[in-house]
């Protein structure tokens, strides 16, 4: 198992074991994906807006957290008024 992935196994209805992975993003990658600075990411974490995890001594942001932040971001209307 890669340090940047978490591993979950659950029995499928057929009796097979289904394996799924969720990416654990280093803070630098999370900042890049969210378009923010590292200090902004820490501010967001301090406000309870995003959760960090410690894996092998590294601080990471799970893929589901990044996707949640992006889903909850307000939509912007970029149409010009005229």
Question: Across the chain, what does the average pLDDT equal?
Answer: 83
Whole-number pLDDT of residue 41: 97
* Kind of pairing between the strands at 53-55 and 17-26: unpaired
Report the SS3 class of residue 10.
Answer: strand
Question: To which residue do tokens 């978490």 refer?
Answer: 6
pTM, entire model: 0.69
Q: In 3D, which of 49, 46, 43, 39 has the Cα closest to residue 70? A: 49
8 Å CB contact between 25 and 55: no
Report d(CA 22, CA 77) in Å as an integer. 32
Residues 21-53 pLDDT 10s? 899 999 999 999 999 999 999 999 999 999 999
């Amino acid at each position: 198992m890669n340090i940047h992935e978490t591993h979950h196994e659950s029995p499928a209805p057929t009796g097979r074991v289904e394996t799924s992975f969720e990416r654990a993003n280093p803070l630098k990658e999370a900042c890049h994906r969210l378009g923010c600075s590292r200090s902004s990411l820490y501010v967001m974490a301090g406000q309870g807006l995003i959760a960090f995890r410690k894996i092998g001594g590294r601080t990471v942001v799970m893929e589901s957290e990044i996707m949640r932040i992006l889903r909850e971001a307000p939509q912007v209307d970029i149409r010009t008024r005229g």
